[in-house]
Chains A and B, each alone.
Chain A
Amino acid sequence: MTRHVVATVEEIPPGSRKIVEVGGREIGVFNLAGEFFAIANRCPHEGASLCKGRIVGLVEADEPGSYRFSRKDELVRCPWHGWEFDIRTGKSWCDPRRTKVKSYDIKLEDGDVLAETKLRAETFPVSVEKRYVVIEL
């Protein structure tokens, strides 16, 4: 298990995402109202760049013309066929038991802690004043 520093916390404000490359894999890092989650940027259906899709909520209906909206901005909708995935778990909304997109553990670390553990981002220098998004892979 290697830890990779992929972004500063301020780079990904709430409601936004950043697509990073770690070990040859593209991974989407999402900030859901202050909580960070990471999923692979590959739709398990046909391989589209899933994390470039719209961030959406959950719409449910028991009958035509009556809709419930919940979980605002917690799902990502594939830009091709519209399959929706839970950003927190990677699970497909329509087929959660059998279909999921790979999700990754994320930690937020202070720059001074990272400096002590000699963990370095490959693409940018770590500064002790900032907080960082770290993916374990």
Chain B
Amino acid sequence: MSVTELDRARSAQSNLRIIDCDIHPAMTAWTEVHPFLARRWIDHLQVYGSHLRHAFSEALTHPRMSPDAARVDAYPDEGGPPGSSLALMRQQHLDPNGVDHGILIPLRWNPGSQRNLEFGVALTQAMNTWQVERWVRQEPRLRASVLIAQEDAAGSVAEIEARAGDPNFVQVLVLPRTDEPLGRRRYWPIFAAAEQAGLPIAVHVGGTNGHPSTGGGWPSYYMEEHHAVAESMQAIVSSLVFEGVFERFPKLRIVIMEGGLGWIPSLSARMDKHWAKLRSEVPHLKRRPSDYVREHIWFTTQPMEEPESAAHLTELFERIGWDRLLFSTDYPHWDFDDPRYAFRAPLTPAQRDQILFGNAQKFYGLD
């Protein structure tokens, strides 16, 4: 019987080189977004507030494992929520973990789920500029994501076009709980604009669309909600495949963030099996569903699967594709993955470097 006991002296500095594809920056105060909003929308916020498609608009759908869904050690001494202090982010994460580049995934304000579409679009514009001014210009290791309010396709396209070619931005960001499954045609103008701009589309767990978070209705517990994110990602992947998005947009690249990994081979195999017999229903698909997944979709690693057997993990990576895995930590959230200990499998130095650095470097075109 082996007992897990970690008692090695730890060096303060990691020797690894990493690109962290999922860092959550926060605002010290919600008013931080004001300088980037038109007067009309500041007034709107103050008079009417933010309204999402669920009750208690400023609350999360379920209370989290930890307050602010955050690591307990990530609260800045100077006050403000975890993720709001660049100094602490550097001291606690970027420096000791050897982060060469970090990709920002802002979740505050949830602009894509705002019921007032125009307000949602205004928020995306403000949050995008906020990311550049508050983070990327202060810290050259960081890169921003183009937030869009996907239910307003025209507004989203305008924002993607406005940021196209700006090296501060490396992707478009959508949260998967959209009004309809993401492959539906109402979202196609967004895919066209992203493809045109050469920007991948990141789908990071979250969003509120008013639908229950599982196919069986509303769950009772946060643990169920936490698992439901994997279900929502499966719905996104099968929608993108079967709606023919990758036939219509052959250069489109998708990265699924924080949705787990174990389900990917089984979903691919299941789609292939059904397609083999029922392909006449979807004649616009020219290839096996799994081919589209393998060619167009990348996956971030956190929260890392922790199977009993290390061999199961390497087999999983093999089946997904070693070149499709992008390392992420989810800093400063509670289910953070440490690059040194997250992978409980014997990876070769080349495999480790590929997942921690090389794949993301190539994917985002970073130095």
Contacts and interface: CB of A to CB of B under 8 A. Distances in A.
A45 interface: yes
B65 A49 contact: no
Classify the secondary structure of B's interface with A: loop
Contacts of B310: none
B1 interface: yes
Interface residues of A, number: 26
Nearest to A25: B9
B73 A49 contact: yes
B72 A53 contact: yes
B335 A47 contact: no
Nearest to B340: A47
A79 B1 contact: no
Given A46-B342, A53-B72, A81 B7 contact: no
Contacts of B305: none
Interface string A90-103: 00000001111110
A82 B65 CA distance: 8
Interface residues on B, range: 20 to 34
B70 to A, nearest CB: 9
Interface stretch (A5-13, A36-44, A107-115, A120-128): A36-44
A45 B338 CA distance: 10
Contact of A25 (B7, B71, B73, B74): B7
A54 B72 contact: yes
Contacts of A100: 3-5
Given A46-B341, A98-B1, A79 B6 contact: no
A38 to B, nearest CB: 12
A93 B8 CA distance: 22
Interface string A52-87: 111000000000100000000000000111100000
A49 B336 CA distance: 13
Nearest to B7: A102
B7 A79 contact: no
11 contacts: A44-B4, A45-B4, A46-B336, A48-B71, A49-B73, A79-B73, A79-B74, A81-B334, A81-B335, A82-B334, A101-B5
5 tightest A-B CB contacts, nearest first:
A79-B72, A24-B9, A102-B7, A79-B73, A44-B6
Interface of A: 23-25, 40, 42-49, 52-54, 64, 79-82, 97-102
